[in-house]
């Protein structure tokens, strides 16, 4: 039987940014991007942009 997925709303902008950084950096930590593999902002599935 599938597990139920639950979530919580992010309370404020500080915690939202912490969560977004965590999600974006997962690609780097998994060595999917970075170094010779290209920039995080170039990854097809990343919503990370350089402002």
DSSP per-residue letters across 1-51: -PPPP------SHHHHHHHHHHHHHHHHHTTSSSGGG--GGG-TT------
**Per-domain residue ranges for the chain?**
8-51
- Indicate the pTM of the whole model: 0.51
pLDDT reading at 46 higher than 80: no
pLDDT at site 1: 64
Asked if residue 37 has pLDDT above 70, the reply is yes
Q: Is the pLDDT of residue 12 over 70?
A: yes
Q: Which band of pLDDT confidence, cut at 50, 70 and 90, is reported for residue 18?
A: confident
pLDDT at residue number 51:
62
């Amino acid at each position: 039987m599938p597990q139920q997925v639950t979530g919580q709303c992010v309370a404020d902008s500080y915690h939202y940014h912490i969560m977004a950084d965590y999600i974006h950096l997962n690609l780097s930590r998994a060595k999917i991007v970075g170094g010779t593999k290209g920039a995080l902002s170039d990854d097809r599935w990343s919503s990370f942009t350089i402002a």
